[in-house]
């Protein structure tokens, strides 16, 4: 394993870094400076404020695609993302092996690290 960690945060990942993560030849860490953490927190606060003001956010309190007119009861909002990926994962072939799974997770995590998805830093950690 290399000594330099691959940092998930504002900077894009190179394909070589994704390969290193997939093969477990490099450790990973989340960008830790206060400005970055505040950017992530700001996105989460914005989502919370929209929920408070609007009550309806596509894909958060509604279904997806043609189901966007279907309101999701607040007590089921936390389960919605699991239902989405379960639905989209049905019938798509064999499961990914561990390195491919780690590569997909690295790409998704890097996407969420941009600060525009409304996630909290705890999810990124």
Q: Is residue 36 annotated as part of the catalytic site, yes or no?
A: no
Active-site pick, 36, 58, 64, 85? 58
**CA dist 112 → 2, 35, 43, 74 (Å):** 25, 16, 11, 23
- Quickly count: other Cβ atoms within 10 Å of residue 57's Cβ: 13
Which residue has 């477990």 as its token pair? 24
Pairing of strands 6-8, 28-30: parallel
Which residues are tagged catalytic?
58
């Amino acid at each position: 394993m290399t000594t330099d960690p691959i940092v998930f945060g504002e900077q894009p990942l190179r394909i070589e870094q994704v390969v290193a993560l997939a093969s477990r030849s490099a450790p990973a860490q989340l960008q830790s400076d206060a400005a970055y953490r505040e950017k992530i927190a700001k996105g989460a606060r914005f989502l919370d404020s929209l929920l408070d003001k609007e009550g309806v956010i596509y894909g958060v309190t509604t279904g997806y695609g043609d189901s966007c007119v279907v309101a999701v009861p607040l007590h089921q909002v936390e389960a919605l993302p699991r239902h989405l990926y379960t639905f989209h994962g049905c019938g798509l072939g064999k499961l990914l092996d561990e390195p491919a799974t780690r590569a997909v997770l690295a790409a998704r995590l890097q996407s969420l690290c941009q600060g525009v998805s409304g996630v909290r830093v705890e999810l990124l950690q």
